């Protein structure tokens, strides 16, 4: 009897594709939701990933795939980290176990990974505009497949989302926007009256009855159109008293909701009904972030995206005794604000992630979280600076890409004293959409801006204070890494000068930021083979210490190491300085001008030969070849 029990497949094991959901009973669907949550907890606790967002969309995703045909229709995900359940239901159950691993499952939708991922997504706010593109293409050939955009995690307040909403009714009359409201954005459930109204207006009978009445009224000679217009105004006025969706109606998009995002049967009925609506629709679905795992329910921000953790306690498996760069930034920002009352802090929905939580708690009247709106954050900072404040903006490197025009137009051109701290510079385990390796390429050539990169937390503090004193645009970039345990008194940086950490005569090794630690490891390995190198902490990317670099290049071979694309980083600066200069050879270590895949940090570095062992061997062979010439 026991052997037979073990051989029985779970509901999830029977789901090889979304088509297998069509025949499931309500009881099977509930069991499936429980099984999916268990898989999410097991895999993410082992590999890391985005737990809370996906625990909240389990029933929603099952309902979507039950009603729509994911190969014919189009499901387009916003903030793609909420698509783990989608992956489990689209033939990737076993592959999902390799989440965030080398050559494994990407944590975001990827067109290269599956035909069910029709549009890649890593940054927020893209689903509505992308879905509108699919809808326009379908309409151009008179197709009839359904286009569904799933928007969530606060991305509706993103500028791109609002621009897309504004354009929907102008482009198509057949598109569905699912607004996943997990109480982290928009508004909470608005009560019994709204649910009652939703049951009325989302039935076939109501909408068909309303359409028939309109048709009959329009036939009344002379006054039909006027009466129809007045009926519409009365309907909208009545809805505005009870439903928080009138703004969508005014944009020409029908509002349905709020719907219980954990009641699969209600969602299935709702999606079946709205698929027949002859106009664009927003379905407001209320979910609970972290649902089904008590620790994530209690602390959804902590479990939004995290490394591996103990499933029983919710604690991270590794608790470093030294602070990360994010934590060091938060401590230093508080110290700067204590000394200078005009300092204010700004972040774009990343208070905890950027290390600003302590500042927000200590200086609540001087802290601004603008939501997922990086462009606004930068222009807002420019306005504060022009008005006399000293803003410090903390944004992940990958998200700063969205505010490039604002950095140039609103900060640099006006030479305003804004400090931008770019967290997560360098590669990360989230993959191509989140690698922070492109920022230098578009920042280093902007006018009036200085760019600094600290080797550790203490130097980050010194740079923050020095940047305040400069009173002009500054970017301080640092990785998602430990900031070192060394403690020292604050020192005054000599603006624009590099730091020589050790001297040697066989090689000059110029390292950028946290890569100083990597360079130290390389030089130790080279020393075993009697290769003595000079180690330079670059510190200032702009202004760059060209005098010292030219001096080193004239005496010995020179190599650079940076956690950035070499085509747009320090390597490019060095090449431009040496193009007409005599030197003993130059070599660069950094990321190529191509898509860097996802995986573990160590695995990616080894794949590209950017781990200390590989670089040491390559440099040793290079130095020996140079000496033979």
Q: Which residue has the tokens 């609540």?
A: 364
By three-state DSSP, how is residue 396 classified? strand
Please give the positions annotated as active site: 289, 374, 402
Chain centre to alpha carbon of residue 106: 13
**Contact call for residues 55 and 289 (beta carbons, < 8 A):** yes
**Contact call for residues 151 and 78 (beta carbons, < 8 A):** yes
**Closest-CA residue to 378 (of 414, 358, 405, 343):** 405
Q: What is the DSSP string of 58-84?
A: HHHHHHHHHHS-TTTSEEEESSGGG-H
Q: Which residue has the tokens 């190491």?
A: 561
Burial of 568 (0-12, 13-18, 19+ CB in 10 A): buried
Angle at 432 between CA 429 and CA 435, to 5 degrees: 65
Backbone angles phi, psi at 285, to 5 degrees: -105, 125
**Closest-CA residue to 495 (of 472, 470, 475, 513):** 470
Distant-in-sequence, close-in-space partners of 254: CB < 8 Å, separation ≥ 6: 248, 277, 279, 280, 281, 282
CA–CA separation, 80 and 348 (whole Å): 18
Angle at 443 between CA 439 and CA 446, to 5 degrees: 170
Cis peptide before 175 (omega within 30 of 0): no
Record the tokens describing residue 229, joined without a space: 């217009």
Record the tokens describing residue 405, joined without a space: 């025009």
CA–CA separation, 128 and 36 (whole Å): 27
CA–CA separation, 436 and 431 (whole Å): 10
By three-state DSSP, how is residue 445 classified? coil
Q: Provide the sign of the torsion angle of the four alpha carbons 348, 350, 355, 361, taken in this order.
A: positive
Chain centre to alpha carbon of residue 555: 44
CA–CA separation, 351 and 477 (whole Å): 17
**Closest-CA residue to 395 (of 410, 380, 417):** 380
Distant-in-sequence, close-in-space partners of 206: CB < 8 Å, separation ≥ 6: 200
Torsion angle in degrees (nearest 10) through CA of 112, 114, 117, 121: -40
């Amino acid at each position: 009897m026991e052997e037979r029990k073990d051989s029985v497949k779970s509901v999830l094991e029977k789901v090889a594709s979304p088509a297998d959901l069509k025949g499931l009973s309500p009881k099977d669907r509930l069991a499936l939701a429980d099984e999916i949550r268990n898989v999410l907890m097991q895999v993410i606790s082992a590999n890391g990933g985005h737990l809370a967002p996906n625990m909240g969309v389990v029933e929603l995703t099952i309902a979507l795939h039950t009603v729509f045909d994911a190969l014919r229709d189009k499901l387009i995900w916003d903030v793609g980290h909420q698509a783990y359940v989608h992956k489990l239901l689209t033939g990737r159950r076993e592959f999902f176990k390799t989440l965030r691993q080398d050559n494994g499952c990407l944590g975001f939708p990827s067109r290269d990974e599956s035909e069910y991922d029709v549009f890649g997504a890593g940054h927020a706010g893209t689903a509505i505009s992308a879905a509108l593109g699919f809808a326009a293409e379908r309409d151009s050939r008179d197709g009839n497949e359904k286009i569904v955009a799933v928007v969530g995690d606060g991305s509706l307040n993103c500028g791109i989302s609002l621009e897309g909403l504004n354009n929907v009714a102008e482009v198509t009359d057949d598109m569905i926007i699912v607004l996943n409201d997990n109480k982290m954005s928009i508004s909470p459930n608005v009560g019994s009256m709204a649910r009652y109204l939703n049951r009325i207006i989302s039935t076939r009978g109501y909408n068909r009855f309303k359409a028939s009445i309109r048709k009959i009224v329009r036939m009344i000679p002379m006054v039909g159109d006027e009466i129809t217009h007045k009926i519409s105004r009365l309907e909208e006025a009545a809805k505005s008293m009870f439903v928080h969706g009138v703004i969508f109606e005014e944009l020409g998009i029908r509002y349905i909701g709020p719907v219980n995002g954990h009641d699969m049967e209600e969602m299935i009925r709702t999606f079946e009904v709205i698929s027949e609506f002859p106009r664009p629709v927003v379905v407001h679905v209320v979910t609970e972030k972290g649902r089904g795992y008590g620790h994530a329910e209690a602390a959804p921000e902590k479990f939004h995206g995290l490394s591996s953790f103990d499933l029983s306690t919710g604690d991270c498996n590794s608790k470093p005794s030294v602070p990360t760069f994010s934590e060091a930034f938060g401590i230093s920002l508080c110290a700067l604000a204590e000394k200078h009352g005009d300092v204010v802090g700004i972040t774009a929905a990343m208070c905890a992630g950027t290390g600003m939580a302590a500042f927000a708690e200590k200086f609540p009247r001087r802290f601004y979280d603008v939501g997922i709106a990086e462009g606004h954050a930068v222009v807002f900072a420019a306005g504060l600076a022009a008005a006399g404040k000293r803003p410090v903006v903390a944004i992940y490197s990958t998200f700063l890409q969205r505010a490039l025009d604002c950095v140039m137009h609103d900060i640099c051109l006006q030479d305003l004293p804004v400090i931008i701290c770019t967290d997560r510079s360098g590669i990360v385990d989230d993959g191509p959409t989140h690698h922070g390796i492109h920022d230098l390429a578009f920042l280093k050539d902007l006018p009036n801006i200085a760019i600094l990169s600290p080797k550790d937390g203490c130097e980050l503090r010194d740079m923050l204070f020095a940047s305040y004193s400069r009173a002009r645009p500054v970017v301080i970039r640092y990785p998602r890494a430990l900031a070192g345990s060394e403690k020292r008194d604050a020192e005054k940086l000599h603006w624009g000068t590099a730091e020589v950490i050790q001297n040697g005569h066989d090689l000059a090794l110029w390292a950028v930021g946290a890569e100083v630690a990597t360079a130290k490891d390389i030089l130790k390995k080279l020393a075993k083979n009697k290769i003595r190198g000079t180690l330079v902490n670059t510190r200032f990317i702009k202004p760059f210490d060209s005098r010292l670099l030219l001096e080193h290049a004239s005496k010995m071979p020179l190599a650079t190491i940076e956690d950035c694309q070499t085509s747009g980083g320090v390597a490019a600066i060095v090449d431009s300085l040496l193009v007409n200069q005599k030197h003993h050879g130059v070599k660069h270590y950094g990321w190529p001008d191509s898509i860097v895949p996802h995986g573990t940090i160590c695995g990616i570095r080894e794949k590209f030969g950017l781990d200390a062992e590989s670089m040491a061997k390559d440099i040793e062979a290079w130095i020996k070849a140079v000496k033979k010439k």
